[in-house]
Amino acid sequence: MLWLYRGPYSGRGRPKIYDGKVNTEKDLHRFEYIGELDTGESIYTGVVHSKCLKCPIRMVMLRIQRDTKIGISLLYSTDTELDAMTIIRYYKARFQIEFIFRDAKQYTGLMDCQSCRKESIHTQINASFAALNALKLEDLREKNTDNQTAVSIASWKRRKFNQHLMCRIFEKLRLPMSNEKIMDTYQQLSGYGAIGA
């Protein structure tokens, strides 16, 4: 990335466009300081030129210092008019969406459709996300809370598999699920092999 030249025209030749490479440590004074997040990161922003994108971009730098180590996260937007806090909010929302896609790909069969028909693909996508949403709702109901909590999809998958297997075994053995001992065993073994509590 390169700094954009903001100085006066020298009067000779082609006007200067760039003013050197961006160095996040040495050029800290050239960034605009916005403030701090609740988590302690200092926010700096500036408009710079991206060599890869071949256009000016808004760069937001989140900088945190712990003991002698400095951690830096860089966020970008091609919309140079956006303010730093909006870009941070967009990135947070984007990563939440990425987690949903990851869970749907790994656990609810988002990528398993083998059809080329548009309608079939839409049905597969809707079924995958519906299963994921139903699982998250069941997790909230079991935890008896309205607040968003961490959900272990792998644990829920294991739990559902255990419950299905036990139902099949109890059905073949003709053991009634209404029996208190059977239900107690069912509850205990539901979480067998699950990661989460």
- Same domain, yes or no, for 160 and 194? yes
Q: Are residues 143 and 159 in the same domain?
A: no
- Closest by CA to 20, choosing from 43, 42, 51, 45, is 51
pLDDT of residue 89: 92
Q: Quick: pLDDT tens for 45-66.
A: 999 999 999 999 999 999 988 8
Whether residue 187 sits in one domain with residue 121: no
Q: What pLDDT is stored for residue 97 in this prediction?
A: 85
- β 55-66/18-21 pair status: unpaired
Residue 156 and residue 145 in one domain? no
8: containing domain: 2-93
Encode pLDDT of 85-101 as tens digits: 999 999 988 888 888 88
Under 8 Å between Cβ of 79 and 52: no
- Whether 75 is covered by a domain: the verdict is yes
The verdict on 129 and 180 lying in the same domain is no
Mean pLDDT in residue range 127-131:
92
- The verdict on residue 171 lying in a domain is yes
| Counted domains in the chain | 3
Residue pLDDT, tens place only, 28-38:
899 999 999 98
In a domain, 102, yes or no: no
Residues 77 and 67 grouped into a single domain = yes
pLDDT above 90 (res 102): no
Asked if residue 56 and residue 114 are part of one domain, the reply reads no
| % pLDDT > 70, the chain | 99
CA angle (117 as vertex; 112, 119 as ends), nearest 5: 90
Residue-wise pLDDT for 134-149, tens only, equals 988 888 888 887 777 7
The pLDDT of residue 196: 58
- Please, which contacts does 26-29 make with residues 24 or more away whose CB atoms are closer than 8 Å? 27/3
Non-local (6+) Cβ contacts of 54 within 8 A are none
Residue 181 has pLDDT above 70, yes or no: yes
Domain C-terminal end among 133, 150, 167: 150
**40 and 61 together in one domain:** yes
Please report whether residue 101 resides in a domain. Answer: no
Residues 137 and 191 in one domain: no
